[in-house]
Amino acid sequence: MYSLLGRAVIKTRWVILAGVLAVFAIGATWGLGVFDEFTDGGYVSQESRSVTDAEAIEDEFGSIGAEVVVLYSSDTLTVDDPAFADAVQSAVADINGIDEVESAASYYETGQEGWVAEDRHATFVPVTLAGASDEERAGVFSGIEQELRDAGDTGDLEVRLGGGAAIFADLNEQVQHDLEIAEMISMPILLLIMILVFGALVAASLPLLIGGMSILGGFAITRVITEFTDVSVFAANVITIIGLGMSIDYSLFVLRRFREELAQGRDKRTAVLNTVATAGRTVMVSGLIIVLSMGGLLLVDVPFLHGIAYGVMSAVGVAMLAALVALPAVLYLLGGNVDKGRLPWRRNAAPKTDTGFWHGLAAGVMRRPVLVLLPVLAFMALLASPMLDMQFGGVDERDMPEDAESRVVTETIAADFPGGDEETFQVMAVGDPAAAAEVQSELEALDFVDGVRPAAEPTADAMLFEVLYDLDPFSADARGLIEDARAIEVDGADLYVTGGASDRVDMLDAIGEGLPYMLGYIVIVTMVVLFLAFGSVLLPIKAVLMNAVSLGAALGIVVWIFQEGHLSDLLGFTPSGYIDPSNLLLMIALLFALATDYEVFLLSRVREEWDRGADNRTAVLRGMQSTGSIITAAAAILIVVVGAFAFSGITFMKMIGLGMAVAILLDATVVRMLLVPATMRLLGRANWWVPGPLGRLYAKYGIKESDEAPAAEERTPVKV
């Protein structure tokens, strides 16, 4: 298979190069338009009760919430001053004249004292936008944002915009800003690492070019996907992180192997063919595991995760194809010129496999595997221990930068307006009007309820109530209150509940239902692909266990920092005391796949040595020495890429970036340097054991470098 692929790449190299240029052109023009197609992604399914109940209430009463809140304030004037009143009333008149606005009202028309700050120096105007969905209304807001700011003759009043639509607009703007910052931070560091790794400018530049191609290609494919489903705006960050990181990692291994082949005296054709057959196979195995693992997110009914999964699958798919096809074609064209711009103190020599730092480290570990294994596992368990107190919450204004206007408006209303910090949810009773009073009594009797009031004029057969409560909206008590309200049964009335913690109840239910399937799927996919790659039963099991160790330690650190608030001042975020479960699932899928990535890189070389006749110990030592430096470089590169997002202004993106950086660091050091050689020494030849039927399956369908099954498959395990 790989020999055919290598020959096809060489034969069609100019066609491939034209395709690369086309990907750059399409991605840099049409593909970047995906930013206009992103949505908030949705944290609950459209079939969830919170959504269907909200739709039923909107059908009966119209939109019950304002998508935009315009906050007017003055340091000198109060709402009772004519100048303040005239300014706000003229603004409301202009806002109601905007075609895309369904309604806007102020304190002066309604007399709502809750819309006036306690010091009377501010008031807000709720604005309802036209549109059949949150996504449509977010699009409407982006088109009229400036009109809302400029409405009326507000004079010296300060005008600020808040509400759901404004928060989404601020998030979108912050995402694009974060991408620019991440690129400014990471690109110079990446180039420096490349130069240090390869010692030549041409070789150092190729992974960055492949990385750019992967990002742009991922954006283009994701834009196609947005025609069929919603994709979260945060997919842009994840596409950039994973697309750039994996394409550079893959390019590193392909380039390293190609230069090794040249250093051993092979011509460029043979070098390309051998590179595709070895490093190309490794890239394919790694890419398949990541793409298939991300499919596990589709088993959890949280739309936010689906869109990001599609984006990551697109970016990694492009990265894999680029490393398998585009990069070998470019290398064939370059030949020995890949080392142009060589640093004067560097020379390109065939690497040694029987001596060196990594060989010595692995040898030391394998001499005393148990003495290494037990303390390291205890250390990783200690890092993972904060997970025992993990609390699930959600995303709110605290995830935004402190100076984000929509966050400032939300916090100002909560702090300065009467009842601004009260939480509410809505209940619609449909049916016998006489039953409405009983519904209200049942709601008032619920624990933690502070009051129940009509939220709209009743219709012929429906009454809408607003339930007030004073609880942390992310707390278990708040979720329990929603469940208690949903459980109310009154003869002659059907109840519909939305708002408050209702969406979080449904999201946690969806995650609880889908998580076992997601984890099972990822584990099975990983084990199957690793078995097909290495023809071993125990190595895939060991890989899954090692992944769980590094993942648990990384998530424990994430909880310690982002839930408990340690280092919050240093990192610049506001701790909420919770971890958003949807982002946690995203991290689990990504980190599990990325941890397997380095396992594949290492075991591919170990398997090569085993197939050449080396014993288990020698194969591991040579594999460690051959891949140690390049895995370290690849990990450093990926840490730089994902770590750059620790500077994001959005807390959960900061969490993902920092969490992934920590996980990669632990996996590439503690796990790969210590745990893997220790466990492989303890397992001995059993590492390569495979029962007869599975051996025949591997011989027929295994992902091998050649179509011939290697002779090493005939070995049998011995007692260890």
Q: Do domains 67-134+150-162 and 405-504 have the same CATH topology?
A: yes
**CA torsion, points 256, 262, 266, 268, in degrees to nearest 10?**
90
Q: Are residues 124 and 414 in contact, defined by beta-carbon separation less than 8 angstroms?
A: no
Phi and psi at 66, nearest 5°, equal -90, 130
- pLDDT tens track for 277-298: 988 888 999 999 999 999 999 9
Which spans in 199-326 are helix H? 201-225, 235-263, 268-294, 303-321
Tell me the percentage of the chain whose pLDDT exceeds 70: 95
pLDDT at 394: 81
- pLDDT for 630 beyond 50: yes
274-311: string of b/e by CB count within 10 Å (b at 16+)? bbbbbbbbbbbbbbbbbbbbbbbbbbbbbbbbbbbbbb
Cα separation, 90 vs 85, whole angstroms? 9
Report which of residues 146 and 395 the model is more confident about: 146
pLDDT at 165: 86
The model's pTM is 0.86
Give how far the C-alpha of residue 620 lies from the chain's centroid of Cα atoms, to the nearest Å. Answer: 33
Q: Among positive and negative, which fits the CA dihedral 560, 565, 571, 574? A: positive
User: What secondary structure does DSSP assign to 56-117, as a single string?
Assistant: HHHHHH---S-SEEEEEE-SS--TTSHHHHHHHHHHHHHHHTSTTEEEE--HHHH--GGGB-
pLDDT at 709: 39
Q: State the amino acid at position 535 in one-letter form.
A: G
Cα separation, 185 vs 169, whole angstroms? 24
- pLDDT tens track for 14-63: 999 999 999 999 999 999 998 888 877 678 888 899 889 988 998 888 77
Query: How many residues can be counted in the chain?
Result: 720
Per-domain residue ranges of the chain: 2-41+169-390+506-714, 67-134+150-162, 405-504
Cα separation, 354 vs 344, whole angstroms? 27
Record: fold of 405-504: Alpha-Beta Plaits (3.30.70)
Domain boundaries 67-134+150-162, corresponding CATH code: 3.30.70
Nearest to 288 by CA among 48, 522, 486, 518: 522
Q: Are residues 348 and 256 in contact, defined by beta-carbon separation less than 8 angstroms?
A: no
- pLDDT for 718 beyond 60: no
* Helix-then-strand count for the chain, H and E: 25, 8
- pLDDT for 229 beyond 90: no
Report which of residues 716 and 84 the model is more confident about: 84
Sheet holding 462-469, edge to edge: 449-454, 462-469, 423-431, 493-498
